[in-house]
Structure 1
């Protein structure tokens, strides 16, 4: 067929080539397209189909040249415009791809594939709301469009509409049940919903259909990590890396799994593997920083922690005309604007650094999350408190609150602990003291953090032995997620009803002043108790958040806290047995 075909039926050759192409036999279709183009260089169909084939081969620049030539012949071709946009997107030329899709949709407004392609590009650019409009149109035009329903689920995930995303994936699978990527996407959303067993089953379903799917193996590893099955997670990541040795996410995640088993040298080895392939990989730098912080190397850890500003979803990356304060500049008499975009517990923990900046003679203005504004204003210290969106009109320097430890050169030996530095409102303390009473040994309890964060809960039922100790009263400080356990855990717990019904922590702080002890896991309530100088016992997982470091039962941040640590991943039983023993030794019962 490589002979001169000028005298032959070009349509027949194209028909044969297209049949091979559709069957996935690209290497056999390619020479036939080339033969046609030698005989008829301006053949639109051959240029179009060879352009699509080149795109499938990953030869995107050649594909673009062919598709551009095809469009010069038929500028209104929906298929040529669609694939022209797809190739531009593959080349990373997003604005040009979007313009190509827009032109195509203007000519073909009821074209499901075009709406889907435009939506898919917008999802990759994280323009989820605009993407959803396109994908809604795609499935409205073509209700049986499985790919459209799958991509619509991705847009909904990006918007945080997780249940809607799950329904969209389910619709896609009802139309195309053997689509491995949809099963994997479904696993991802189930993980985010905290339904880990179902998530693992969905990931396994994806791999049953495509056992060489490196992304599914990586995502399966993430689910296994959430289940504290770190060895299995490592095996899953390793399989992904055997398929794709340059799969940076899998290498970084395997490092995190090693970290979860306290294999810190192996963790650092995986992070370094990522950085050897991509020296600017922000997540790997940041991950190295977490290990350094956790193991007590605060100087190096806080330096690497600055990479959070360059993560795919940047944290605390703000650009102002005023310079960032690095600690080297004299701020006496200057105005320093600080801000925080992380958890409420971090606001409480690192507020001490705003006080330190004030002690250097700076006027300090701090923007915090709206719910915590009243608590922070009550702290005093001559710090001006704004809501989360607040930005002062005039300031000389700025800094994220969580960059101040780096600016102050904090080491493990120089952690400032000016406890207490928060205070409860006197009137609220008196009110809650009257409601709670003085009888018994009063223990405030919190057993679950945000449901969206893995391993941030323990079963309330584990407190049953403590609740049965003589004189002990368990008083719930739990709000939102987890409160339903009170009805089923078989533990006698006193509920306070309208706790913090207005501003965050004002009531909790006052209640803590009326308690003998607080038992909580790693939540913002632990930080609140510590900053108030109240006695609290904190239940920590095997490898805790870096803020709690390793091994010690004491927190250098909060002298009044005592830390109870799992002896192995998932082992909460020993934590609460140790607490019960400690209560007995303190002659509580």
Structure 2
């Protein structure tokens, strides 16, 4: 077949370009295909067709098109760059990196290539190399809004929100219409405790991109923190209008209503937790049906723990109610809790997570039980009978502590470092310094010490820390039982002490206060023995601890010597 006349090829290329400009992308792709049938070595046609295929969400076909382009013109830097983008979308990080490397080798002054390579390196966990690429992109193009924004996100991911905010401001000075930068700026401001400014930033992001569900979601989160609960619920409803199946919005709406005490309206939405990023890993795909509250006569039900140890302690109170429905209850708990819960009323069989399960007919996670029993703040079941410290553990720790000559105060100032709110709820040993001089015997009920606290411990000669001697939660429970009072941050130890009926003072953070403590109350309907100390917005933790220390002096003055 004779090659097509160049005038025909030129006409087709012009037609393809015109269709592209008119928004007829499919027509443009079809025309480039017609060019390549007539002239298979037309580099521009291969490159433009590959770019269109990439925009159609066909990265594999796009890579083939870029490979054809590069076979004809190996020095085509744009093709190497776009090929890298397509490979990244296919999850082929190393191949994408090699493609970006080739692009910048061919064109060392290519800011877009440095920016894109920085994004890939950030995704690969190579923060220093990513930072260097963003710096290079900005040096080449000082008004490069995207590079500033990406560098800010890198800094924020590393915990330097203030430095990230500086870059977001620079990005917006270059391009104030970039919705994602406004969103990231809002995140940084929120982390820095500047909630009102964060709210404005999220509102700007949502105005620029009305369907921006994450901006509406985080705006709702800030409004919730600012106690503008009804406005927060409206935000979550907006998200659900845009994306009806978005579990994060439904879950946050539930948390808002739970915190307000509107539990009748909240429990059904709380079931959406299983679709959130936080809880997906906890889903148990049992073939047996999920129990919906029906009679259990003649059947076995598995009740399984979810989330943390404190959640299991708080919600195991429902076990006797389930058993009263006539079935046989199998209770699965986290490792370490079995010695403490072994005598729980209503349990026919107890297993630790990871052990083989006996046969069962139905199942239900513990935190779904309040919905099934229509719980509201006035109908919370009492603490469960049968929960007690094993007598041998109690005797061993009584001997280990020796005779009490002063009131004993248990202290727990940190929770698990992997908890999503640990940065706000946990304290350092130095931050609870106002408690050091009280006239009491101080008992650490922390199992593990972080390095910072281990370095501070020598300055607390009166604090008895047992650490590795705490084999499981039954040991911690024994220590709490032998204390006259336990002071704890919002962690499993607080639930443990309060469940055991010990006087428990719980320090609650201003940020992301858990729904179960409701709003403003100094008491808890879940735990008669608990007193709540709430950090106010902007209040440093030592000020909260100072209030606790003052009340502790009064407590000790009323305690027998």
Distance change >3 Å, CA 357–CA 420, structure 1 → 2? closer
**Aligned partners of 1:63 and 1:337: how far apart in 2?**
59
**Aligned partners of 2:87 and 2:474: how far apart in 1?**
45
Whether contact under 8 Å (2:477, 2:496) holds in the other structure is yes
1:520 pairs with 2:488 = yes
Aligned to 2:362: 397
1:444 pairs with 2:405 = no
What are the ranges of 5 or more consecutive residues in structure 1 without an aligned counterpart? 1-5, 11-35, 90-95, 123-129, 157-163
**Aligned partners of 2:275 and 2:315: how far apart in 1?**
21
Q: Which of these residues, 268, 271, 283, is aligned with residue 306 of structure 1?
A: 271
In the TM superposition, what whole-angstrom CA distance separates every residue of 1:442-490 from its partner, at most 9, and x where no partner exists? 2222223344534122354443232212235253526354743752896
Q: Which of these residues, 488, 504, 508, is aligned with residue 476 of structure 2?
A: 508
Distance change >3 Å, CA 273–CA 585, structure 1 → 2? same
Aligned to 1:550: 519
Tell me by how many angstroms 1:586 deviates.
2.0
Q: Secondary structure at the match of 1:337?
A: strand
1:152 pairs with 2:120 = yes
Q: Secondary structure at the match of 2:251?
A: helix
- Structure-to-structure mapping, 1:180-199, within 5 angstroms: 180-188=145-153, 190-199=155-164
**Aligned partners of 1:346 and 1:520: how far apart in 2?**
16
**Aligned partners of 1:579 and 1:255: how far apart in 2?**
32
Aligned to 2:380: 415
Whether contact under 8 Å (1:500, 1:508) holds in the other structure is no
Distance change >3 Å, CA 502–CA 289, structure 1 → 2? same
Distance change >3 Å, CA 141–CA 398, structure 1 → 2? farther
- Structure-to-structure mapping, 1:290-369, within 5 angstroms: 290-311=255-276, 315=280, 316-327=282-293, 329-369=294-334
Tell me by how many angstroms 1:262 deviates.
0.8
Whether contact under 8 Å (1:272, 1:284) holds in the other structure is yes
What are the ranges of 5 or more consecutive residues in structure 2 without an aligned counterpart? 106-112
In the TM superposition, what whole-angstrom CA distance separates every residue of 1:500-544 from its partner, at most 9, and x where no partner exists? 6655x3432232223222211111221222233322110112362
Whether contact under 8 Å (2:250, 2:272) holds in the other structure is yes
Q: Which of these residues, 51, 70, 77, is aligned with residue 83 of structure 1?
A: 51
Greater shift in the superposed pair: 290-299 or 571-580: 571-580
Whether contact under 8 Å (1:173, 1:182) holds in the other structure is yes
**Aligned partners of 1:332 and 1:72: how far apart in 2?**
74
Whether contact under 8 Å (1:293, 1:549) holds in the other structure is yes
**Aligned partners of 1:85 and 1:493: how far apart in 2?**
70
1:240 pairs with 2:205 = yes
Greater shift in the superposed pair: 475-484 or 295-304: 475-484
- Structure-to-structure mapping, 1:381-396, within 5 angstroms: 381=345, 382=347, 384-386=349-351, 388=353, 392=357, 394-396=359-361
Whether contact under 8 Å (1:336, 1:398) holds in the other structure is yes
Q: How large is the RMSD of aligned CA atoms in angstroms?
A: 3.9
1:222 pairs with 2:191 = no
Whether contact under 8 Å (1:513, 1:534) holds in the other structure is yes
TM-score, length of structure 1 as denominator length = 0.76
**Aligned partners of 2:158 and 2:311: how far apart in 1?**
24
Aligned to 2:534: 565
Q: Secondary structure at the match of 1:222?
A: helix
Q: Secondary structure at the match of 2:409?
A: strand
TM-score, length of structure 2 as denominator length = 0.80
**Aligned partners of 2:193 and 2:339: how far apart in 1?**
36
Aligned to 1:210: 175
Whether contact under 8 Å (1:444, 1:474) holds in the other structure is yes
Tell me by how many angstroms 1:554 deviates.
1.5
1:530 pairs with 2:498 = yes
**Aligned partners of 2:104 and 2:82: how far apart in 1?**
15
Greater shift in the superposed pair: 97-106 or 231-240: 97-106
Whether contact under 8 Å (2:155, 2:163) holds in the other structure is yes
**Aligned partners of 1:138 and 1:338: how far apart in 2?**
52
Whether contact under 8 Å (2:63, 2:87) holds in the other structure is no
Q: Secondary structure at the match of 2:507?
A: strand
Whether contact under 8 Å (2:431, 2:542) holds in the other structure is yes
